[in-house]
Amino acid sequence: MLEVHRVTKSFPAAGGPVGVLADVSLTLEPGGRLAIMGPSGSGKSTLLAIMGGLEPPTSGRVTLDGIDPFSLDADGRAAFRNRRIGFVFQEHHLLGGCTALDNVVLPALASGPVDTALAVRAARLLDRVGLGGRSGHLPGELSGGERQRVAVARALLLSPRLVLADEPTGQLDARTGADVADLLVELVAETGGMLVAATHSEALAARVGTVRTLVSGRLQP
């Protein structure tokens, strides 16, 4: 379960702190899915970064299965992110010099040695996203949609409890975006994890199901 309790966030600025999130609370049950929509600058990415333990809230707290990542030290927090959270960003952030398969497997190295079962799962995930025949290709040899599908497979490798997707289809055409969105929802459902997606895409939000809207850092009722 994901619990966001009265989270606020402000960033320091020359003229004093700038408030970005104001008293955001929400709960997501195990297996739950949520799309966060709202105008540019409304705080969607900031909220995802806080949920993922990348950015501390100014006040309030976030817990995933009862664990507050900001109660952990830096190493503990890194392990928390690596084991429990899968990130998919607008830009895939694949390693350009590594094959598609290596890109799926490499992040898992931070959690321990990659055994055969994990390597098999990585290959199977690449199959599932339609890239079984391209596992030896470098990101530069793949299309934008294909790279984003590699990023989805990478995020799902360790069956994270929570997948955070920030504009995962933002750079894709409508058709390709719909395919990636379908895969994301389907694969997260198979692992039993939760999904939170920040997006401007009505099509992605509809696939995710429940939609909440942020306006000027406030979650609308």
Ligand X SMILES: Nc1ncnc2c1ncn2[C@@H]1O[C@H](COP(=O)(O)OP(=O)(O)OP(=O)(O)O)[C@@H](O)[C@H]1O
Which residue ranges make up the site for ligand X (CB under 6 A)?
11, 20, 38, 40-46, 198
Which two tokens mark 204? 């992605």
Place of tokens 């955070």: 164
Phi–psi pair at 59, nearest 5 degrees: -150, 170
Nearest CB to ligand X, comparing residues 135 and 201: 201
Phi–psi pair at 4, nearest 5 degrees: -110, 115
Q: How far is the CB of 21 from Mg ion (least distance, A)?
A: 13
Residues 176, 165 contacting (CB under 8 angstroms): no
x-marked contacts with Mg ion along 95-114 as a string, rule CB under 5 A? --------------------
Which two tokens mark 220? 């609308």
Span near Mg ion by CB under 5 A; candidates 38-46, 92-100, 127-135, 151-159: 38-46
What separation in angstroms does the CA of 139 have from each of 143, 179, 199? 8, 19, 24
Nearest CB to ligand X, comparing residues 89 and 102: 89
Q: How far is the CB of 36 from ligand X (least distance, A)?
A: 8
Place of tokens 């952990």: 72
Nearest CB to Mg ion, comparing residues 118 and 163: 163
Let me know if 19 is exposed, middle or buried by CB neighbors in 10 A (0-12, 13-18, 19+). middle
Question: Which partner from the list ligand X, Mg ion, none does 11 bind, CB cut-off 5 to 8 Å by kind?
Answer: ligand X
In the three-class reduction of DSSP (H, G, I as helix; E, B as strand; rest coil), residue 7 is classed as: strand
Q: Is residue 45 within the footprint of Mg ion (CB under 5 A)?
A: yes
Nearest CB to Mg ion, comparing residues 157 and 205: 205
Q: How far is the CB of 107 from Mg ion (least distance, A)?
A: 22
